[in-house]
Amino acid sequence: MLHDRVLVRISPEDGERRSSGGIVIPATAQMAKRLAWGDVLGVGTGVRHVKVGDRVLFNPEDQLEVEVQAQTYLVMRERDVHAVAKELTDHGTGLYL
C-alpha cells in the first residue's frame, strides 16, 4: 500500500444479523446506511493511527473494491476510518472504541 491508504477485509459477521427479539434480518434487507467493521490487512507508509491487525469501523459504500486471488478487499484513505477497536485485557474484557 502507498501513502495514506488502508487495505481492509470486511468482517464476515456483517452479513445476516438478529434483532434483539430474535428475528433474523438478512444481509439484503434495506435499512438506513450502516457502517461496517473490517480487519486491516495492509497500510501505507503515511498511515499513523491504524496498523495491520486492527479492526476498523468505516462506510463500505464510499470505498473502492479490489479483487486479489478471488478475495474482495476494500481500499480507503486513513481519514475514512471512523473508529479503531481496541481490546483491553488489563482489567476487563470486551471491545472498546
Looking at domain 5-96, does it have CATH number 2.30.33.40? yes
Q: How far apart are CA 14 and CA 37, in angstroms?
A: 7
Read off the pLDDT of residues 34-93 as tens digits, 9 standing for 90 and up.
788 899 999 999 989 899 989 999 888 878 888 888 888 999 999 999 889 876 556 555
Delimit the domains of the chain by residue range: 5-96
- pTM equals 0.69
Residue 51, classified by CB atoms within 10 Å of its CB into exposed (0-12), middle (13-18) or buried (19+), is exposed
